[in-house]
Each structure stands twice: as structure tokens, then as C-alpha cells.
Amino acid sequence: MIDLTVTSNVNIPSWKTWFDTRPSTKFINDNAKARLFSTFDYSVEKDACMRALLEHDETVFLFKQNMAGNKLNIIHHLKRIGGNIYDPEEQFGAIQGVGDDTSCIITPDVNALLVMPMAQGEPVPSIANIYGAKTEEDITNLPLSIIMKYHPRNFVPVPPFLIGPIDTAIEQSNGDGTKILIRVIKAINDFDDVVNDTGPQPLEDTKTSCVDIVFWLFLNQKQLIYPTSATGCSNKNMRKNLMI
């Protein structure tokens, strides 16, 4: 288990709880969900995207695991050491998972993670149709829009209000991407319903601002997101840097 007392005077039991307590959580949930996705948009060059990944310590990302099917998992706190004149070899590490007993340190294949998307984009359903899907059969039968396309990277950022639903779906389905998609659609629909019923009108529409992760998950279950291999991290300096 990762010792979160390194970053707080309070013993926080899990990364999920840690993310819930960040000031960035309310900020992004309230009015910066679209900006979160645009930060990692397909049009962002590889080097700039790498810098953004390294800088966004308070952001969780979904990636496809290098195994059969459409299995997904969560990573966060990507770190890099080396890559300078006295330590020329670059090494990367990240924390996988946010649960109280499921978090671990991994070394992801960053080159695979940062592969640039296809220039032409992939056809996806209309926004109205995809948010109406409630079952795996609904997802399978969704018609593709003749005008809507999405350019997926091999990872996607996760808005804070979706961390809990996604983590639960990963644990219950062993990372099944289609089941995660269904849970995400419900969570987005529920989020808009709660906000519209209990408070002032939000600054951005959640269905529109979060459609990137929905389209990404849809293309994943179509086998159009490429897997990123990862191994356990044995580098002591990296593990120290990632608060083990």
C-alpha cells in the first residue's frame, strides 16, 4: 500500500480519497472538464503531451492494458527520471489503480502511450444516441454517425467525478471496457441530473464536455485503442519518487 502521509498530515486510506480532497477536483468538475480533454487532444504534439502528462499530478488517466480483449486500468502520477547529461537513460514510472489495496508502481511503455492518433479519425455514434445506451446490446447496436469522428490517443484523462464509478467498474468487471463505458454513461447522465436539480446552472454541459471519454471507451470496445505494455517498477529511485 502507498503511504499517503508523505503528501498530507492526515493518513488518507486510498488514492481515491486523496483525489476527492484535491482543490482541482471541484475546479474541474465545476467548469474545466472540456479544458481537461483539450489539454490532451489529438492535435497536441507528442512532446507537449508528454509535458502535460508529467505536470498533471492530480489527474487520472485510463489506458488499455496489454492483454487479450478490451481490458482497461487507471494510471496517475507519471514520473520521469534521467534524460540528462549525467544520467542519460530516461526511465518512467506511474501509479496504477486508486483503491486502498490495489495500487502499485508500474513502468509503462510511454512510447506506446503517446502514439499519435490516425489523421482521419474514427467514426462514432451521435452524442444523443451514445448517451441513450444503457446495456451492452445497446452499445453493440449503436449506429455510427455519418459526420461525427473522434481521434483517440492511447490514453484519456478522467474527470474527477468519474474516478469512483470507473474504479468500481474496473474492480467489478476486471477492467472490462464495455462495462466501464456503460457505467460512465450512467454517471455522466446522473451528474447532469443532480447538478441541474440541486444547484445553479453549470458553466458547461457535462454530456458535451465529457464526450471525449465516452467516444474513447466506445472505440476501445471496437478494438481501436492500442494496448500499452507495463511492467512492475523495480527502480528504487523511481519508487521513492512515487511515495512508496
Per-residue pLDDT of the chain (244 residues; tens, 9 = 90+): 444 544 444 456 689 999 999 999 999 999 899 999 999 999 999 999 999 999 999 999 999 998 767 899 999 999 988 767 777 677 889 999 998 776 888 999 999 999 888 778 999 999 999 999 999 999 999 999 999 999 999 999 999 999 999 999 999 999 999 999 999 999 999 997 765 555 555 556 899 999 999 999 999 999 999 999 998 887 787 877 776 4
Which element (helix H / strand E) includes 187? helix 177-198
Helix (H, G, I), strand (E, B) or coil at 96: strand
The answer to whether the CB of 183 falls within 8 A of the CB of 168 is yes
Q: What is the pLDDT of residue 83?
A: 67
Torsion of CA 4, 234, 55, 62, to 10 degrees: -90
Grid cell at residue 23: 482543490
Grid cell at residue 239: 519508487
Grid cell at residue 188: 455522466
Domains in the chain, number? 1
Amino acid at position 125, single letter: P
Q: What is the pLDDT of residue 2?
A: 46
Exposed/middle/buried for residue 241 (C-beta within 10 Å: 0-12, 13-18, 19+): middle
Looking at the whole model, is its pTM more than 0.85?
A: yes
Terminal-to-terminal C-alpha distance of the chain: 8
Look up the domain containing 205 and give its range. Answer: 4-241
Residues 6+ apart with CB under 8 A from 223: 70
